[in-house]
Amino acid sequence: MIGGYTRVDLYTSYEVTPKIQFFGLINNLFNQHYGLFGGYTNRDNANQASIGNPSTGPNFFTSPRTIVPAAPFVAYAGAKIKLW
């Protein structure tokens, strides 16, 4: 089971004129680390595949559980300009 989490996203925009707008967007403001979903994998097959990698070794994977991590903090800013 994946635990609960709280994520804060922010969006703002400012319209200078009807044809010019500035905007900003922040996702995951506090850089929360959480999983989107989890699953199970065959641990023996994963360890067999990692034998050739010196940084992992033949017994690197100790749990069959896997979790897909969510996106970290990201910020965007920009401008919208209407020509007509």
pLDDT per residue as tens digits for the range 8-30: 999 999 999 999 999 999 999 99
- Within the chain, strands assigned E span 10-17, 20-27, 35-40, 65-69, 74-81
Q: Where are the domains of the chain?
A: 10-81
Q: Which residues have CB under 8 Å from 1's CB, separation 6+?
A: 38
Cα–Cα distance for residue pair 59/61, rounded to 1 Å: 6
Helices (H), the chain: 43-49
Cα–Cα distance for residue pair 12/75, rounded to 1 Å: 12
Q: Is the confidence at residue 5, as pLDDT, over 90? A: no
- Across the range 51-74, mean pLDDT stands at 86
